[in-house]
Chains A and B, each alone.
Chain A
Amino acid sequence: MAAIVARALVKHFSQEIKAVDGIDLDIPEGQVFGFLGQNGSGKTTTVRMLTTLLKPTSGSAEVGGVDVLAHPERIRRSVGVAMQEVGLDEVQTGRELLTLQARLFDVPGPVARTRAGNLLDVVGLAGDADRPLKGYSGGMKRRLDLACALIHEPRIVFLDEPTTGLDPITREAMWRYVEDLNKGGVTFFLTTQYLEEADRLCDDIAIMDRGQIVAKGSPEALKSSIGTDAITLGLGSAEDAGLAEPLLRRFEGVDSLQVQGAQVILYLKNGAAAVAPLVLALAEANVKVEDLRLRQATLDDVFLRATGHHLETGDQGQGRL
């Protein structure tokens, strides 16, 4: 059974602002599905529609087999959500907040208290459980927020940029936790700006750009769709790149290429074997190669190919693999 299905889902805030512009989703149970895109691409709006916080302008969606418009209260009972902005009541302690959260999901009192204690332990906050949240660090709040999303043991969990702003150690811990839960059958719908996160966690990925899904598939399939390897050529100038482009497009084995200023990125199956003939061909055409790098294709390459621009995360070093 599909965990999440959407058909022609649209959200327009005005004539000009088309946040989500007709997307289709089919996410099987037990999958970690990644929604990759820049800020403003429509990821969060999609999550808000699927979790009943926002009504779609048109289209339909089902979560856990339940229509989001017809039975929003049933959806809320069955899904866990951690939004991008950690929304917590800072006056309460971690234990109070989690217990209240469980009770508001109709979990009986004694069970709620036990679960809160267990989850605090799992997310590494047992020692701080009885301190007010105002003394928690950003990473601690993020972990508590994740615990809030899981306190009623949902089978489908939406995480909207769950590791944005976290330090690498906390990020790694969050990833491990998601992986463990996923092994237990929990479906995750994860939005992220981090390619590494998508590559590591996700079974399938959709790349979102300007409200539309522009590429979809498993990370491996997406990468192989553009060629296994990537050769980045630094040429003398943008004119040189323009001159070289027709030649490079005809070059044997090249699946696709991207020109960005004086830089040309070639995607091909066997990059190592292509390097020498490539340099020779360019030399014969009087195109000077100033720099050449061979590497495996990454999701960033997929993103570039699909959207025409790199994924900018605003968090240095995390966007690229």
Chain B
Amino acid sequence: MRFLRDTILLMNRALREAIRQPANEIGNAFIPLFFYAVTVGAVGDVAREAFGVSDYKGFQLPVAILQGAAGVAGGAGLAMTLDIQSGYFEKLLLTSTPRLAIVGGRMLADGVKSVILCTLIVAMALAFGSGFETGPVGMVALVLSGGVFALCYSGIGVAIALKTGSPQAAQAGFLLFFPLLFLAPTFAPLDVFATWLEVIARANPVTYILEGMRALVTGGWQWGSLLKGSAAILGMGVVTWTMTAMALRGRAAGG
């Protein structure tokens, strides 16, 4: 109970910070919206002929969701390094709050910001003419999965921030996302991939997250894809949260 209450208190603090310093959030919103518009504009008309995708606007929507969520999730690590450098992190360690709440608040704030951004992205995609097979319930599921993805992915940046205290290193956590995204069926379905790329893509958890989200938009309630996607997000969460907890323990021990 105490953990949950303090996590929410610290989440509110992180959200206030985002509202008062909106530049980062504007950047996080611009990148996925821009790439969505450009990619759909460039490939949309030939997608059916080239690789059999009739609703390319819907096909690209999960990519924008993941880009946006990952961008938002990079914020927690960076903000954590700023807290460490300013000494505020130490002040939080000196309170009686459960220490996991200190990182949990930041990560949960990323989840909330991601939900807001994903809602915006879905609205834009619908305005562009994207279909949505699973209707409003599916839209809510997609937006929430974007939030959960951000919550999980932010663990990478936060763990790096806690381990190194370096803003540059924490931002590198966000850059890790790009190889993962481009080694997945981002622009075309898996069945048109070269064999070597398909092998890599099938070992990449982002592939299953993307396909699960894509099922909501273009495929309908395909439970197999949805379960695999959910498992991939949660699996990633287990790994990143474990990394974060270990890094927190190391930093809190103080040497």
Of A52, A55, A104, A106, which is in contact with the most chain B CB atoms at under 10 Å from its CB? A104
What's the nearest-Cβ distance from chain A to residue B110, in Å? Answer: 16
What's the nearest-Cβ distance from chain A to residue B94, in Å? Answer: 5
Is A132 in contact with chain B by the CB < 8 A criterion? Answer: yes
What's the nearest-Cβ distance from chain A to residue B112, in Å? Answer: 17
Q: Are A54 and B20 in contact (CB under 8 A)?
A: no
Is B88 in contact with chain A by the CB < 8 A criterion? Answer: yes
Given A48-B254, A89-B86, A90-B86, the answer on whether A53 and B13 have CB atoms closer than 8 Å is no
Question: In the complex, which residues of chain B have a beta carbon less than 8 angstroms from the beta carbon of A148?
Answer: 91
Contact residues, B83-114 vs A (CB, 8 A): 83, 86-97
Is A23 in contact with chain B by the CB < 8 A criterion? Answer: no
Interface of chain B, main secondary structure: helix
Q: Are B94 and A53 in contact (CB under 8 A)?
A: yes
Query: Count of A residues near B, CB < 8 Å?
Result: 30
Contact residues, A80-120 vs B (CB, 8 A): 81, 83, 85-92, 96, 100-101, 103-106
Q: Are A96 and B87 in contact (CB under 8 A)?
A: no
Is A210 in contact with chain B by the CB < 8 A criterion? Answer: no
Given A54-B255, A92-B13, the answer on whether A106 and B2 have CB atoms closer than 8 Å is yes
Count of inter-chain pairs, beta carbons less than 8 A: 70
Q: Are B13 and A89 in contact (CB under 8 A)?
A: yes
What's the nearest-Cβ distance from chain A to residue B22, in Å? Answer: 12
Q: Are A51 and B94 in contact (CB under 8 A)?
A: yes
Which chain A residue lies CB-closest to B89?
Answer: A87
Question: In the complex, which residues of chain A have a beta carbon less than 8 angstroms from the beta carbon of B21?
Answer: 91
Is A77 in contact with chain B by the CB < 8 A criterion? Answer: yes
What's the nearest-Cβ distance from chain A to residue B93, in Å? Answer: 7
Q: Which chain B residues have a beta carbon within 8 Å of chain A's beta carbons? A: 2, 6, 9-10, 13, 16-17, 20-21, 83, 86-97, 253-255
A-B contact pairs, 22 of them (CB 8 A): A13-B255, A53-B93, A54-B255, A55-B253, A55-B254, A76-B95, A83-B87, A83-B91, A85-B87, A87-B86, A87-B87, A88-B86, A88-B87, A88-B88, A88-B91, A89-B88, A100-B10, A101-B95, A104-B6, A104-B10, A104-B92, A132-B20
